[in-house]
Structure 1
């Protein structure tokens, strides 16, 4: 298992993440839709015309990515009354062509993220928790 049950529930409840790739001019960060395969704990990212994007060209050149999902809780969850919580997932991205798009209006190219390191804050308890996976 890659994610804790709390982390997995959190990811499944969030509609949007930010994917950071390494491009020729430096990091590129883009909001993206994502899905979590609950059996393998892999994250899949796609979008409209995803296969023709700079993100995909960046991944082809360097498969190292960072993926962030975060939000503000309605009640304090962290030290000192902080309400921010989330996950940063450092991963290796694998580009695939799916039989069907993940969502209507999306292309069938997707990036499957294979987590290497997880940094969580204010999810399984107050404060930061990081680990290699």
Structure 2
């Protein structure tokens, strides 16, 4: 598996990610999108009218992306690093697919999706056995 149990637990509890892509002209773009963690540790990203979006055109020309899923740790003494940020950063390559059921909000997300295949992962403040986290190559 690509993700640790702590990372999988965290990702399964989140719904919003930030996807960074680069256009053919070299302009960076970052956009917030819904996502789903799949059983094989790939991540599906969707959106309304997805195939017509700039991010979709960007990845057709450059399949390397960065995906960030993060939030603030609840300000509760029972939490790891209360009041601090926590999250998972994923760098990888993507493929485009057309699926029967969109990964998020099937009533208005398009059937054209982006599937992220992780190659590098960094996480922080989500694992009680490794509070500070770290990064690693995964593919």
Aligned alpha-carbon RMSD (Å): 1.4
Q: 5 Å matches for 1:110-121?
A: 110-121=113-124
2:3 maps to what in 1? 3
Corresponding residue of 2:96 = 95
Structure 1: how far apart are the matches of 2:102 and 2:132?
37
Could you list the runs of 4 or more consecutive aligned residues of structure 1 that deviate by over 3 angstroms after TM superposition?
Answer: none
Gaps of 5+ in 1: none
Q: Counterparts of 1:11-50 in structure 2 under 5 Å? A: 11-23=11-23, 24-38=25-39, 40-50=40-50
Measure, in 1, the Cα distance between the counterparts of 2:36 and 2:102: 12
Normalised TM-score (structure 1) = 0.91
Task: Return the alpha-carbon distance in structure 1 between the equivalents of residues 9 and 124 of structure 2.
Answer: 14
How far 1:37 moved relative to its partner?
0.6
Contact conserved, 1:45 with 1:110, CA < 8 A, in 2?
Answer: yes
1:130 to 131, 135, 138: 135
Report how many aligned residue pairs link the two structures: 130
CA offsets, 1:91-117, max 9 Å, x none? 101001112333210111000000000
